[in-house]
Structure 1
Amino acid sequence: MVQSGLVFSLIHTMSCQNRPVKDNMDSSSGFSSSFKSKQSRLQERRGSNVSLTLDVSSLGNVEPIKSVSTPRELTLQYLKTTSSVLSREQLKEITNNTQKLEAEFSKIPPNFIETNELNIPGHASKNRYKTILPNPQTRVCLKSEKHSDDLSSYINANYIRGYGGEEKAYIATQGPMVNTVNDFWEMVWQEDCPMIVMITKLKEKNEKCVVYWPEKQSSFGRFEVVVNEVKECDGLAIRDLSVKHAEESRSVKHYWFSSWPDHQTPDTAQSLLDLVLEVEESRKTAGNRGPVVVHCSAGIGRTGCFVATSIGCQQIKDTDKVDILGIVCQMRTDRGGMIQTSEQYEFLHSTLCLYESNLSRMPNSSPASEVNSA
């Protein structure tokens, strides 16, 4: 316990102070005056009979130790507060400034999860990549009776917020593996997903995804999946599926966009933009159903480009502005690593710039034009 003041008394008593001194010594040698001078200096130096007081009351005013934020807390703080709202004109300008975009992207923390943060023994067998793990706070958990323990309920997938912070607008997940196909369909059924968007080939040097749908009809766990119709055009295959369980049947539309090169971006943004707008239109007609499932191989790069483009298009259409940096930060809060490379970040800007350009050619294409024409 710190006291408000500490007093230390140093009392020095010189035995020679009470000892008589002869006159002849004073006159002959000057000893007395010399001794008194030394005694005086000694008293000044040591404090003599004067108490020495040390005031340490100021110690009580020391600021308390502040808590130190963990790297995870700092990451989340950055992701939740960082934003850069662009007008349509600013979007055009920054899209051509690749150096600025690279610098901006490099500052966004990836928010990847470490294995010990999941605390699910054996989950590694269900991950396509050992370093790409689902963030715990938004992780999809399988909830049927057969998925009663931590491992059986585990799937490498996250809920992703959409435009305006809409909860569970999307599910971002990895490409299904042989031992996770049944879990994948369990998730599609559990979440009542109306659409699946697949943005990867089955193999790109290495396996990226297994075939998890049938040629015509097949069973996956407790679900029967039937292919009703297939349409193919320019690197995009659209399948109308029926997913059945017990006496219930649900329609699910499967989009397979296979023309995106691995570790690169498409030559033109038009193909991705067409896919995004097609899925968004189908989503509206599907009514009040669950999230749109989006996956590539790892479920973060091309998946992130699709989700961010979808959100960005809605922002531009509704507000005449877009916050691409904020969109990516929001996605990475939900699933680490969304938008994997600076090249993808630049491609995202190009795609949204193309959408803005197309929108500009349409009459009454934005709130601003409506206001100006009023």
Structure 2
Amino acid sequence: MTNRLSSSGRSHTEDSIFLKPEEDPVWLDEPTGADRLRDLRATAAKRSVSLGPQAGGPPGGRQAAAAAAERGPQVKAVQKTYGLVLELQRWAAVLVLSQVTGYWLFFVMEGNGPASSVYKVLQVVDFYLGCILPCNPVFGVDSARQLMTEVASTKEHHWVVLGTAGVGGAICVLMVVHMVCKWNSGCGLWPAATVSVENCDRRQSVSRQPSFTLSEWTDAQEDLMDLDPEPQTPVFDLGAEPRGEGDAATLTVTSVGLQERRGSNVSLTLDMCTPGCTEPYGYGAQLSPRDQSAKEYLREGAYPLTPALLHAWALDDQGLQAQFYETPMNFVDPKEYTYPGLVRKNRYKTILPNTHSRVILDSQDEDDFLSTYINANYLKGYGGEERAYIATQGPTVNTVGDFWRMVWQERCPIVVMITNLEEKNEKCAEYWPEDSVTHEGIEITVVTVTQEDDYSMRVFTLKRGEEERSLRQYWYTSWPDQKTPDKAPPLLELVQEVEMAREDAPATSGPVIVHCSAGIGRTGCFIATSILCKQLRTEGVLDILKTTCQLRLDRGGMIQTCEQYQFVHHVLSLYEKQLSRPAEE
């Protein structure tokens, strides 16, 4: 595949308020049935005028137009009658409610209990209905008349009865006036809450929202990440005021085209536009201004941190949020992957590999794109080391074979898994056997299983033909569901354990595979922490922003949320303290 997939120009968190790509915009000013009927009558009337005998119009067309014009008053009368019936029902409900309330208050003031007052009110209503309808009252004629006699003979609170009758009379008068006005002019005593059909004013249409907005996305829905519920995510338009809830003065806006983070999370379907061209990096690609500025930011973004600045910066929540939201996500537009059958190979159809760094599987038929495809990207390591890591999605039932093909092809010595198999929904298929299994001609055999406090480690033997290799899988299970970890040491221990295992691996070994569910959130946290720990040990300083930008150049969305970004800072702050403590002692 020679074309680069252009990145999205919208935030990864707009799913909750944006339409899906395959949906049409929804318009609040969609013509109603009355609108269409009125427009049809107007069109018919115009045609009846224009298609006279001189115009040579067909006789059938003139007759149809005349018939439509004749039916117009009848249809309008039916519509008015139907509207008046609805209005009458509303007024009748108001009248009954006022009378019931008034008589209930009267009986309560007369010393009756609330329940007995309700019973007597029902008798009063029954009496009035017996006077209006040709049927006997339910409670009996004598009982109803006796009650009404008692009401009429009461002197102390008789004003309540008179007030209730006055309110009922007023409602009846207003009802009649309102109905007459409604019939004559189409408008009652007060303007309706909605715009009248008769006038031509239309409400503002609601189509696709602006590309930059404030939205909330949580993992209670089917999260497109591998992770957890997220805080509200402000995304900033160029030169516009941020819409976040924080202090706007503390949030800076970088003048770059943000390919902002998006999220969803029910169907994991993102509404992405397609700015820019589809040429790969470094081949004379003609990017749109937005894409070009985003790529420049990712290539040049840097914020070196000394140990002292690291500790202070890790506690500056507003500063970290502003920095995180300014950094483009570099997601791939899913519309660019139009190969039939490809949907079965992606866990989330909007989390796709950036093409310039994607892993291409060996295949006997190189023209068969599906046989060479896997949702995975090569990532650079510390010092620009090429193909130090592979970030990939959690294998699905349909891609377990592809996963093991990649492990064998790339000679990977280590697999790091940072997700549970299920967290409210399936996050990853159990792609390893309990004992032994064969995938794509590769025999996978479990040798040992070691259980630690926060992860388990399995050693596999991979055999294909006469060649045999060893593979370690670290399954980190202490990342809590719907949140980032509360403690940094377990992740640090895993990073250090993987580094030692990598040093012991054969010199011919390939990259370390890291995956979670989507392969961008927790995966990005682990890989960034591993790279930055090396940088801190080697240089004494580190640049978390630069590392994040480099990871996103190779795979969009790495370190997917602000909470994760803050967590990485806390982990490295703790690691720096661990490094400096022995020196101080």
Shorter-chain TM-score range: 0.7 to 0.9
**Alignment pair present for 1:112 and 2:331:** yes
Helix, strand or coil: the match of 2:461?
strand
1:361 is displaced (CA, Å) by 1.6
Helix, strand or coil: the match of 1:203?
coil
Which residue, 496, 517, 530 being the options, matches 1:310? 530
1:148 is displaced (CA, Å) by 5.3
Aligned residue number for residue 388 of structure 2? 169
Q: How does 1:222-241 map to 2 (within 5 A)?
A: 222-241=441-460
Work out the CA distance in 2 between the residues paired with 1:239 and 1:150: 33
Helix, strand or coil: the match of 1:360?
helix
Residue 76 of structure 1 aligns with an amino acid whose one-letter code is: K
Structure 1 stretch 218-227 or stretch 313-322: which is displaced more? 218-227
Aligned residue number for residue 414 of structure 2? 195
Aligned residue number for residue 319 of structure 1? 539
Output one character per residue of 1:277-320: Cα deviation in whole Å (capped at 9) or x when no partner: 00011111113210000000000000000000001100100000
Work out the CA distance in 1 between the residues paired with 2:559 and 2:366: 31
1:146 is displaced (CA, Å) by 6.1
Work out the CA distance in 2 between the residues paired with 1:233 and 1:119: 44
Is the contact between residue 118 and residue 136 of structure 1 (CA under 8 Å) also seen in structure 2? no
Helix, strand or coil: the match of 2:450?
strand
Aligned residue number for residue 504 of structure 2? 285
Is the contact between residue 157 and residue 171 of structure 1 (CA under 8 Å) also seen in structure 2? yes
Which residue, 314, 323, 335 being the options, matches 2:555? 335
1:90 is displaced (CA, Å) by 0.5
Aligned residue number for residue 157 of structure 1? 376
Higher strand proportion, which one? 1
Figure out how many residues of one structure are paired with residues of the other and give that number.
299
Work out the CA distance in 2 between the residues paired with 1:120 and 1:321: 45
Residue 294 of structure 1 aligns with an amino acid whose one-letter code is: V
Aligned residue number for residue 242 of structure 1? 461
Is the contact between residue 308 and residue 328 of structure 1 (CA under 8 Å) also seen in structure 2? yes
Residue 238 of structure 1 aligns with an amino acid whose one-letter code is: M
Helix, strand or coil: the match of 2:371?
coil
Work out the CA distance in 2 between the residues paired with 1:109 and 1:345: 14
Q: For the structure 1 residues 263 and 108, does the alpha-carbon distance in structure 2 shift closer, same or farther, using more than 3 Å as the test? A: farther
Residue 98 of structure 1 aligns with an amino acid whose one-letter code is: D
**Alignment pair present for 1:357 and 2:577:** yes
Which residue, 425, 437, 445 being the options, matches 1:218? 437
Aligned residue number for residue 90 of structure 1? 309
**Alignment pair present for 1:122 and 2:341:** yes
1:147 is displaced (CA, Å) by 6.2
Aligned residue number for residue 473 of structure 2? 254
**Alignment pair present for 1:79 and 2:298:** yes
Residue 345 of structure 1 aligns with an amino acid whose one-letter code is: Y
Work out the CA distance in 1 between the residues paired with 2:564 and 2:290: 26
Work out the CA distance in 1 between the residues paired with 2:302 and 2:475: 32
Helix, strand or coil: the match of 1:132?
coil
Helix, strand or coil: the match of 2:332?
coil
1:74 is displaced (CA, Å) by 2.2
Helix, strand or coil: the match of 1:211?
coil
Which protein, 1 or 2, shows the higher relative CO under an 8 Å CA cutoff with sep ≥ 6?
A: 1
Residue 340 of structure 2 aligns with an amino acid whose one-letter code is: P
Output one character per residue of 1:104-146: Cα deviation in whole Å (capped at 9) or x when no partner: 1010111000123345333221000111000000000101326
Is the contact between residue 83 and residue 323 of structure 1 (CA under 8 Å) also seen in structure 2? yes
Residue 328 of structure 1 aligns with an amino acid whose one-letter code is: T
Work out the CA distance in 2 between the residues paired with 1:363 and 1:348: 23
Residue 169 of structure 1 aligns with an amino acid whose one-letter code is: A
Residue 480 of structure 2 aligns with an amino acid whose one-letter code is: P
Is the contact between residue 378 and residue 554 of structure 2 (CA under 8 Å) also seen in structure 1? yes
Output one character per residue of 1:90-111: Cα deviation in whole Å (capped at 9) or x when no partner: 1011011111101110101110
Work out the CA distance in 1 between the residues paired with 2:556 and 2:376: 11
**Alignment pair present for 1:207 and 2:423:** no
Q: For the structure 1 residues 68 and 312, does the alpha-carbon distance in structure 2 shift closer, same or farther, using more than 3 Å as the test? A: closer
Taking structure 1 as the reference length, the TM-score comes to 0.77
Residue 568 of structure 2 aligns with an amino acid whose one-letter code is: L
**Alignment pair present for 1:347 and 2:567:** yes
Work out the CA distance in 2 between the residues paired with 1:229 and 1:286: 17
Helix, strand or coil: the match of 1:151?
helix
1:252 is displaced (CA, Å) by 0.4
Output one character per residue of 1:127-175: Cα deviation in whole Å (capped at 9) or x when no partner: 0011100000000010132665111110000001110111100000000
Aligned residue number for residue 140 of structure 1? 359
Provide structure 1 residue ranges, at least 5 long, that are not aligned to the other structure. 1-66, 366-374
1:247 is displaced (CA, Å) by 0.7
Work out the CA distance in 2 between the residues paired with 1:363 and 1:88: 14
Taking structure 2 as the reference length, the TM-score comes to 0.50
Work out the CA distance in 2 between the residues paired with 1:116 and 1:298: 18
Work out the CA distance in 2 between the residues paired with 1:178 and 1:189: 18
Aligned residue number for residue 271 of structure 1? 490
Structure 1 stretch 108-117 or stretch 346-355: which is displaced more? 108-117
Work out the CA distance in 1 between the residues paired with 2:442 and 2:339: 26
Residue 355 of structure 1 aligns with an amino acid whose one-letter code is: Y
Q: How does 1:13-52 map to 2 (within 5 A)?
A: none
Which residue, 178, 181, 199 being the options, matches 2:397? 178
Residue 127 of structure 1 aligns with an amino acid whose one-letter code is: N
Work out the CA distance in 1 between the residues paired with 2:292 and 2:347: 27
Provide structure 2 residue ranges, at least 5 long, that are not aligned to the other structure. 1-285
- Identical aligned residues as a percent: 53
